[in-house]
């Protein structure tokens, strides 16, 4: 892809992808508030990202804004079916 993000924290990945798509944390927060009816102030939005205090739903919403689909996909099953 763009670069290997596997070794990066979730916060670093979100920041990188936001920058790649032309957003700053400030503009990403503003777009998030606009699209999803939230009222994060910049400081609390940045803290949420930096502390990785993000719900699965919020992560999918970030993906929506940035043009990515966020999903979990089972790659292979173990012998016990798990």
11 closest CA partner among 39, 35, 46, 44: 46
The CATH number of 10-65, from 1.10.150, 3.40.50, 1.10.260, 1.10.357, is 1.10.260
Of all residues in the chain, the percent with pLDDT exceeding 90 is 72
What is residue 1's predicted lDDT score, i.e. its pLDDT? 46
Low-confidence residues in the chain, pLDDT < 50: 1
Rounded Cα–Cα distance for residues 74 and 1 (Å): 20
In the chain, what are the domain boundaries? 10-65
How far apart are the two ends of the chain, measured CA to CA in Å? 29
The angle formed by the CA atoms of residues 59, 22 and 45, to the nearest 5 degrees, is 45
Beta carbons of 30 and 36 less than 8 angstroms apart: no
């Amino acid at each position: 892809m763009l670069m290997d993000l596997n070794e990066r924290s979730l916060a670093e990945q979100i920041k990188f992808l936001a920058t790649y798509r032309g957003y700053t944390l400030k503009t990403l927060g503003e777009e998030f508030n606009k699209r999803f009816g939230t009222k994060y102030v910049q400081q609390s939005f940045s803290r949420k990202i930096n502390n990785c205090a993000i719900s699965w739903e919020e992560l999918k919403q970030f993906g929506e804004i940035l043009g990515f689909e966020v999903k979990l996909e089972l790659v292979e099953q173990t012998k016990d079916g798990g």
